[in-house]
Amino acid sequence: MFAISRSLRLSRCLSAFGRGLSASSSPGPRTLVAIDFDRTIVEQDSYLAVSQLLPTSQRKELQDQIPKCGWLSFISRVLQRLHGEHKVNSASVGKRVRSLTAVPGMLRVVRRLARMPELELCIVSDANSFFIGEWLEAYAIECLFAGGVFTNPACVQASGEVLVLPYQEQTDCDLCPSNMCKGSVMEELTCSGRYERVIYVGDSCNDLCAMKRLRQMDVACVRRGFELHGKMTAHGQELACSVLTWRDGHELEELLMPKIVASSLW
């Protein structure tokens, strides 16, 4: 029903923020800083946060289906029920997303990174363009992600319901859901020739897929205490890049900045 080309999905996603991959015009080698959204920029999972607008019984019913149906199906059903049964429109959904708190220190480090001319920031997330766009706009930082926002495209229908579509349809990657392989996104970016080095910041297993595409000169930043950190003992040897772990944005800034400015690495 919603067959849509990958290029159109990508263009919808990026156009929501008024820019695409060609936005940067700075000459010379660039470093890309790719950042996940849920539990990396914001403290909560945005899909679970929006689902809290439903009555508890309905929310639990839909959450129980996540292992079988996946997160994209989960949020689609949440949004359908919110609109169809509870008359919750996109404005109310957006208000809930904008209320999410940032990971402590993350706004500071993002703003600091964005001021460095040799860096370009992007978001790689399995959330969606409506949620991410609402939150970035609330904090007036949408302009900082000049490298783009790679996520599931979403739009507000005439009825006021939010519709989320898959970023892609893939069956090759077991680490990622069928609607988005973060590894394929990172492979395209690293092979584009636009970036000399890549820093990737994330917390979950599909971020592991992205980090496995990084090279020896790149850096993976794994959030401690979350899903991916617990799997690093088993999977850390699969990464060619250097790895640092962080608890919040303050620690990330403290650990990452020396790697960016050190002439021996950069």
Instruction: Provide the token pair at 127.
Output: 């959330």
- Measured CA to CA, the distance from residue 247 to residue 238 in angstroms comes to 22
- Measured CA to CA, the distance from residue 103 to residue 98 in angstroms comes to 14
- Measured CA to CA, the distance from residue 133 to residue 55 in angstroms comes to 26
Instruction: Provide the token pair at 79.
Output: 């949004």
Question: Which residue is catalytic, options 38, 126, 207, 218?
Answer: 38
Contact indicator for 215, 195 with CB cutoff of 8 Å: no
Q: Which stretch of DSSP H or E encloses residue 258?
A: helix 249-261
* CA count, 13 A, side-chain hemisphere, 66: 12
Is 36 assigned to a binding site?
Answer: yes
Tell me, yes or no, if 45 is annotated catalytic. no
Tell me, yes or no, if 218 is annotated catalytic. no
CB atoms within 10 A of CB 29: 11
Is 172 assigned to a binding site?
Answer: no
Q: Which stretch of DSSP H or E encloses residue 156?
A: strand 154-156
Sign of CA dihedral 100, 92, 144, 213: positive
**N-term to C-term CA, the chain:** 48
Is 207 assigned to a binding site?
Answer: no
Q: Known binding site: residues? A: 36, 38, 203
Catalytically active residues are 36, 38
Q: Known binding site for Mg(2+): residues? A: 36, 38, 203
